[in-house]
Amino acid sequence: MMKRKTTAQWRTAFNAAGLRLTRQRLLICRELEGRRDHPDVERLYRAVKPRLKQISVFTVYRTMNALENAGLAWRVATWRGHARYDANVETHGHFLCEKCGRIDDLDGGSVGAGFAAFAAAKGTVHRVEVKLSGECDACLAGARALPQEA
């Protein structure tokens, strides 16, 4: 499990990326960081809206683009046209259920090390992405799981 960042750590990360840490950005970062369901922008917006009435969905989109460009969040998969996000930018993979849309993290140590070593022979590796897709246990058991809400 990933350790949550303090406000000072977020500020340092934003400053290092040439970004300003605003109240809206911090709230979105904390929300994303506290979730394991790999939410899309709309789900993040619905989660932060009650705590910050004046926030717009456009602000969440812009923030997620800025976080992704700065390497502070990953766009992990798309499912039915929706980008999903992860605050854990350490090397790890994802399993995407093609039936219900659930995304689960895969252990990073075993997933990334082999690919990184292989790719290093070709150049410098900045990121290893592994996405497995199929059908989750719940869907296989017939209990159609809906994408997780937090």
Amino acid residing at 28 = I
| pLDDT per position as a tens digit, 102-150 | 999 887 666 566 776 777 778 877 777 788 899 999 999 886 545 554 4
Helix (H, G, I), strand (E, B), or coil: what is residue 67?
A: helix
Q: What would the two tokens of residue 112 be? A: 């990334």
Taken in order of first residue, the domains within the chain and their CATH numbers are 1-89 (1.10.10.10), 90-150 (3.30.1490.190)
Vertex 150 angle, CA 53 and 84, to 5°: 85
pLDDT at 150: 41
* pTM reported for the whole predicted model: 0.81
Spatial contact of 42 and 88, defined as CB atoms under 8 Å apart = no
Helix (H, G, I), strand (E, B), or coil: what is residue 54?
A: coil
Q: Measure the N-to-C terminal CA separation of the chain; round to a whole number of Å.
A: 16
pLDDT category, 78, cuts 50, 70, 90? confident
